[in-house]
Structure 1
């Protein structure tokens, strides 16, 4: 909001001076004329004092967390270097986007400019510029000026703690169902095999050689890698049309998607997160940067595109756990919804009839309605687990 050059006091002084000058001419009172001229000139002089001096400044912001989650609080430290004739007194205010909220204002000058931010809406937004409003000593004129560059801030989805998958699901969905070609690291993943021409003698397994009576060498064993997949159905016809306010059901779906992916990764799965068109949103392979990449992708996700057949999304190798998060699920779509051969198919639908839920249950899914509040996600997740969940370690 652009501020007027004069404060309320300044406008009152100016109007009072004009009225006194008019009254002085009517009643022919020279003292009233002098007083009116003074009251008119004073705010104009104060306006020149405030607005004429040239000022330039540099702003640097430091945020305590690189990625701010919805509902999380972060501290912002602001370094504001101002070059001006004299040190003006005023009020500083940092411009906040709608994705965050906080008391980003205070008196100037002061030693340190700091405030707390709370994430309220996921997405990538712009923080800044810093605004400085100064007034003259009489409080008649004011000046508001922007300083410094803006800073990008990323608000990622909120995550909730979920119960781990039962160990039986991990065995069935992992080593028994899928096998990855990733090579294991460390001596525990080495098995002996007979020596072949060209093998380095440094790879001789002396203990196995002594046991077998013939040369044996170390060979890396392919690790059995349990794979899991999380599918976020963000097709445009599944959700309400995006408006000024976010759809609480879609926000709950994104929160559940992030929470499930992290839960499966903690359970030891190699997790792929895709949308209903097969586009990759992220993959968790045990690296910290994988988590950040997934959260940034989910911070920007929105309803769009169309839904494809789930079997084409999953591919020829079915995962162990398969988690499908969708919006509206018509009865005719429920009839065609396959589990794609997954060992543990779990489904969450924001809007589905009892017949649709019964149909997908007959197809092998364990379905549950998607709640609109993140508070209920943990209980909803626990209700679809195929077996008794093991307690958190």
Structure 2
């Protein structure tokens, strides 16, 4: 077996500040029940031999008492040089799915090790703490073990540090050595595959109308760029060429992305219950599913919460960046998203109202995952419809006191669908398409 480094693995080395590695007193504290029993029996036999004057019994008592002490001294003076590595497969896993953790232990010393027990520190939500017993590891030898972890809850969970427990062949003493490094497992929301339906209101295109309108206005309105090898000579803009002293060509018409904002209501007061099957977790999973579905279809997507802070994007707008990069950032952010103390959705409305135009994009879809709405918040959500060509709302929680705010939203132009735990988002997505009977123009 190769002794080279493992790609993607993080090496761990023992913590030099570990209190168990420093003092003999700490090593004496590692006596097992068997070792303490032998020590007590030996001392009792020695006392009895002194009282009764039995020299043979004294020898037996000294032998019983010295055996655990010798084991403690040997383990205390033993200095194994071992290194460990941990590898997560994968490092980012959806909730309720398993990830595998691979551990590797290398004995880099010139002497074989004794019986070793590995124990990795794992949060209780990921499962029981894994323990492994390794017999004898030869010099320059290696042992590899693995275990599985699973969580129903989103979040970032530390794995480690790894603990190494040394023991003697007689089981008299056990000493623990801790490694210093740890890894992080990210549990992201579950993402459901949505059917490729066509939704209206997301009109977009290749931006040629705006460029053509500029061209019809006259040569002064054309925005040129520098000549590049391979450009058509018929596109050279001679007036700009004379002005700049170098060849300039008319800028190519750039494709225009359809813009979509996904609004996620995270107000603590808007949701009841907790846990993986709560309405809030359903809304988080739904928002993640919609965002990734639209990113795969070429939309410019941002995720906006009631706090008014876009969850993705490189410049604060939430619309820029590569789709794969935005998807990774989005899932990573949703993994640790918590409910907010905001009383309402006014901050999100301020962002939508003052968003303005973003070059290369146009207003398209607004998809909202909402909790319970009172009359005031329902009116605010109704005004959000003015900032978009098409608005869809998925309600994960009924209104306070069972109040139904869907009619008010529908009257304002929203397409409202009731969701929540027990309903599947792909079915609701298809239901919205069938209810409208309209197509998505891309």
Task: Give the TM-score normalised by the residue count of structure 1.
Answer: 0.76
1:78 corresponds to which of 87, 90, 103: 103
Q: Is the 8 A contact 2:106 2:143 kept in 1?
A: no
1:287 aligned to 2:335? no
Within-5 A mapping of 1:1-393: 5-21=30-46, 30-83=55-108, 86-98=112-124, 100-101=126-127, 104-108=130-134, 109=137, 111-120=142-151, 121-166=153-198, 168-169=199-200, 172-175=201-204, 202-205=231-234, 220-239=252-271, 248-282=278-312, 283=318, 286-306=322-342, 307-309=344-346, 310-315=348-353, 319-338=363-382, 339-341=384-386, 342=388, 343-352=390-399, 353-372=402-421, 376-385=424-433, 386-387=435-436
Q: CA deviation at 1:124?
A: 2.6
CA deviation vs aligned residue, 1:362-383 (integer Å, no higher than 9, x gap): 433333444346x734334444
Change (3 A) 1:195 1:359: closer
- Distance in 1 (CA, whole Å) between partners of 2:371 and 2:50 is 75
Distance 1:228 1:255 in 2: 17
- For the 8 Å contact 2:100–2:149, the answer to whether it is kept is no
Residues 37, 81 of structure 1: alpha-carbon distance in 2 compared, 3 angstrom cutoff? same
CA distance in 1, matches of 2:231, 2:48: 109
- Structure 1 unaligned regions, length at least 5: 207-216
CA distance in 1, matches of 2:217, 2:432: 48
Q: Secondary structure at the match of 1:337?
A: helix
Deviation at 1:125, TM superposition (A): 3.0
Say if 2:49 and 2:58, in contact at 8 Å, map to a contact too: yes
**1:95 deviation in Å?**
2.1
Cα distance change, pair 131–291 in 1 and its aligned pair in 2 (3 A)? same
Question: Cα deviations across residues 244-296 of structure 1 (Å, max 9, x unaligned)?
Answer: x6783333222211111011223332111111122010146553222111111
- Provide the C-alpha distance between the structure 1 equivalents of 2:187 and 2:207, rounded to a whole number of angstroms: 34
Tell me how far 1:82 sits from its aligned partner. Answer: 4.0
The CA RMSD over aligned residues, in Å, is 4.0
Aligned to 1:211: none
Check 1:175–1:360 CA distance in 2 against 1; reply closer, same or farther (3 A cut). same
User: Against the structure 1 CA distance between its residues 98 and 294, is the aligned structure 2 distance closer, same or farther, given a 3 Å change threshold?
Assistant: farther
Partner SS, residue 385 of structure 2 = coil
Measured at CA, do residues 365 and 340 of structure 1 come closer, stay the same or move farther in structure 2, by a change above 3 Å?
closer
Answer yes or no: is the 8 Å Cα contact 1:314–1:340 preserved in 2: no
CA contact (8 A) 2:282 2:396 kept: no
Contact in 2 for aligned 1:230/1:322 (Cα 8 Å): yes
SS of the residue corresponding to residue 295 of structure 2 reads helix
Mapped partners of 1:104, 1:174: distance in 2: 54
If each structure's strand is expressed as a fraction of its own residues, which one has the higher value? Answer: 1
Q: Is the 8 A contact 1:102 1:116 kept in 2?
A: no
Distance 1:357 1:287, change over 3 A: closer
Q: How many matched pairs?
A: 366
2:107 touches 2:142 (CA, 8 Å); kept in 1?
no
**1:107-165 CA distance string (max 9 Å, x none):** 33373424244341322332222211121011111111112522233332221112233
Superposed CA offset, 1:291-340 (max 9, x none):
11111111221112423335323235684332212333334422442142
Contact 1:6–1:140 (CA under 8 A) maintained in structure 2: yes
Structure 2 residues not aligned, in runs of 5+: 1-19, 21-25, 236-248, 313-317
The DSSP-based 3-state class of the residue aligned with 1:173 is coil
Give the structure 2 partner of residue 214 of structure 1: none
Question: 2:100 touches 2:148 (CA, 8 Å); kept in 1?
Answer: yes
Q: Which residue of 2 aligns with 1:213?
A: none
Q: Distance in 1 between matches of 2:413 and 2:394?
A: 10
